[in-house]
Amino acid sequence: MSFSWYHSDSRGRDLLLVAAFVSFDLFVKRFLSGYVVISCNPYGPWGIAVDGRVMAILAVPILTGVFLSGCRSDVRGIRTGSLLIVSGGIGNLLDRIFLGCVRDIPVSPYFPAFNAADVMLTVGSAVIVWHATVGRRRSGLV
């Protein structure tokens, strides 16, 4: 029995899901730009003043590590959360590379602007945390 770091039957499906999620994010940003005012955020998350080039350079190895470690997991929720995080990261990274900023949709003056990629990052992180804590207890692993 040989060890395979990545299940061959899911390799294409995972990459296809990432491509679909990134396409959805870019489509939503492009579609909504015709109807609402889109803000361009040149800073990092939560308005942290970080050079966009530095963030782009750091994002590539981090997203690669999240993708590879998530794909190694046999837990469907952790794999799904990892794919959402990678998709959201790539969507924002493409904005940063090609536009020099991340396009955000301001919803209200009392709530921070965000985009579909930010939602994917948040939901993906929540899914991983849930499966790593509550999901393990429910399955009897802890």
Instruction: Report pLDDT for 118.
Output: 92
Q: How confident is the model at residue 136 (pLDDT cuts 50, 70, 90)?
A: low
Q: Is a pLDDT exceeding 60 seen at residue 1?
A: no
Mean pLDDT within 114-141: 83
Average pLDDT score, the chain: 82
Which one-letter DSSP state was computed for residue 37?
P
Instruction: Report pLDDT for 87.
Output: 95
Mean pLDDT within 116-136: 89
94-100: long-range contacts (C-beta < 8 A, 24 or more apart)?
A: 94/22, 94/26, 95/29, 96/52, 96/55, 96/56, 96/59, 97/56, 99/40, 100/40, 100/42, 100/52
Instruction: Report pLDDT for 9.
Output: 58
Q: Is a pLDDT exceeding 60 seen at residue 92?
A: yes
Instruction: Report pLDDT for 37.
Output: 85
Question: In the chain, what are the domain boundaries?
Answer: 11-139
Mean pLDDT within 79-104: 91
Tell me the pLDDT tens digit for each residue of 41-68: 887 776 677 777 788 888 888 898 888 8
